Amino acid sequence: MRRVPQGTLILSTLCGSWLGMMALHEFGHVLHAWLSGGAVTGVDLPLVGFSQTHVSPNPHPQFVAWGGAVWGSLLPLVLWLATRHWARRQAFLAAFFAGFCCLANGAYLAAGSFLGATSDADDAHELLGPGAARWQLIAFGVIAGAVGIRLWHGLGSSFGLGAAQGVVDRKAVAAAVGAFISWIILYLIV
């Protein structure tokens, strides 16, 4: 029966990380749009699929495009640093989330630099079109990816893997499920 809490912890952490990553990524776009004098006309946060922020007019599209990946990576890192002081036993959840966000945002920009823009709404299109160099997207991807992998290093036993043999902290399960439900509520409100 210890595999049920373990599975719940892993599934809710993965799903919550995906929803949280998209919300913070779009928050970065919104923040940069407001800072640059753009007008946010909408934010799509689907429970299934990919998120998107609509800005019109967008006087500084490159600045707005960088905002998603930058804040979508930095804010989870700040959350992880804070959690290490206030909730040490559950800090591994914040480390996983921060690692997930760094890897996702880094891979998104690095892959976009190689694959090219798939649509006008793609961040790589916005960045490469007005003059960002391909190496900048790759460098961001490599650095963010390395940070993400470093954050994930050694987290397996906290998720009941390896020598832990499925044993997980019940409070961590509750925290992960609570965070996942909170992200769902935010998505339904937005």
pLDDT of residue 117: 56
Taking residues 75-82, what's their average pLDDT?
96
CA distances to 36, 69, 150, 188 from 107, rounded to whole Å, are: 26, 10, 15, 27
pLDDT of residue 137: 94
137 CB neighbour count, 10 Å cutoff = 24
Q: With a threshold of 0.95, does the pTM exceed it?
A: no
pLDDT of residue 139: 96
* 38-47, 88-97, 110-119, 147-156, range with the lowest pLDDT: 110-119
Taking residues 77-106, what's their average pLDDT?
94
Question: pLDDT by residue (tens digit) across 134-146?
Answer: 999 999 999 999 9
